[in-house]
C-alpha cells in the first residue's frame, strides 16, 4: 500500500511514483496550480512532488 493511501494525496502520489519510474516528463497545468497552493496537506505535498518529478529532465 502506498504511504499516502487513504488520503486525498493518494492519486498524485501514485502519479508521481509512476512518472519517476517511467521517466515521464512535461508540465501539467492543473498539477502546477495545485502545487502552488499554500499549506502542507498531502494533496498539495504530492502535487508538488509530481510537478517536480515531471519537471526533471
1-56 pLDDT tens trace:
455 555 778 888 888 899 889 988 888 899 999 999 999 998 999 999 999 998 86
| pLDDT score for 47 | 92
3 assigned to some structural domain? no
Q: How many domains does the chain have?
A: 1
Torsion sign (Cα): 20, 22, 25, 31: negative
The predicted structure's pLDDT at residue 57: 62
| 2 assigned to some structural domain | no
Domain membership flag for residue 4: no
pLDDT score at 36: 96
Looking at residue 25, what is its pLDDT? 85
pTM, two decimals, is 0.79
Confirm if 31 and 12 have CB atoms less than 8 A apart. yes
Amino acid at each position: 500500500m502506498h504511504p499516502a493511501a487513504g488520503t486525498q494525496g493518494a492519486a498524485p502520489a501514485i502519479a508521481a511514483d509512476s512518472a519517476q519510474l517511467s521517466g515521464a516528463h512535461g508540465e501539467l497545468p492543473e498539477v502546477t496550480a495545485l502545487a502552488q497552493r499554500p499549506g502542507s496537506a498531502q494533496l498539495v505535498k504530492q502535487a508538488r512532488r509530481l510537478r517536480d518529478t515531471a519537471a526533471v529532465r
